[in-house]
Amino acid sequence: MKTLIVYGSKYGSTKAIAHWIAERLNFKTTIRDVKEAPSPDAFDLIIIGSAVYTGGIMPEVRCYIDKYLDVLEKKVVALYAVCLDTQGVYLKGKVHGGWEYLMPLIKKFKNPPLHAALLHGEINPNKLDKEDYQRLMYFYNKVLHRDYAKVPYKTKMNKEEVWAFAEKILSRLEGNQIKGR
C-alpha cells in the first residue's frame, strides 16, 4: 500500500513518531514535513500527524488538510496528535485537552478517517526556543501554581503506544478488505 505520512513538528517528537509508525506498518512509505509535503493524490494511505501547541493542532497541518480535503476524502486517512495531555479533563460541561485537540480535524471529513489517536510526546527544555520556554514557565507557575525554577524535562514518548496505533490501522485495513470481498 503506497503510504504518505505528513507531520507538523517543531521540536522533533511528531517526526520521530512518524518514523516509528512507518517502521511498524512496513509499507512503501514517504515521510514528509508538512511544509514540504506533496499532494496525497499518488498515495493510497495518508497518515497526518501534528504536535499540539497551546490547545491546538499546528496551523500548517490544518491548512494541508483544507488544501487537499477533496483528494483526502477519496483516500484512506488516519490522524494523530502528539501532546502531553492525551486524556484531557472534564470541567463545567466542557472537555479541555485530549480529544478536544483532534476533533476539529476529524470533523473536517465527511468520510470519517479510518483511525485517529492522541499519542504522547515530550518536552525537552534544551530544545525550546526562548518564547516557548517562557510560555511553559508561565503555564507551570501561573496557571498550575507550581514553583518551578526551570522547565522540567518530561518525556512520555512511547513506541509501544505508537506501534499499537499502527497495528490498529493494519487491522482496520484488513477488516475493510474482508468486507469488500
Nearest in space to 64 (alpha carbons), one of 76, 47, 83: 47
Axis crossing angle, helix 159-180 with helix 13-25, rounded to the nearest 10: 50
Q: Which one among 33, 44, 60, 132 touches ligand FMN, defined by CB under 6 A?
A: 132
- 128 in contact with ligand FMN (CB under 6 A): yes
Task: Please identify, using beta-carbon distances, which residue of 53 and 172 lies nearer to ligand FMN.
Answer: 53
What residues numbered 52-111 form the site for ligand FMN, per CB under 6 A? 52-55, 82-85, 97
Shortest distance in whole angstroms from residue 73 CB to ligand FMN: 26
Closest CA to 137 of 118, 123, 156: 123
Q: Given the complex with ligand FMN, which of 113 and 121 has the nearer CB atom? A: 121
Q: How far is the CB of 26 from ligand FMN (least distance, A)?
A: 23
Cell output for 175: 477488516
Q: CA 50, CA 57: separation in Å to the nearest integer?
A: 6
Q: Residue 138 in contact with residue 81, Cβ under 8 Å?
A: no
By the criterion CB under 6 A, which residues form the site for ligand FMN? Answer: 9-14, 51-55, 82-85, 97, 121-123, 128, 132, 135-136
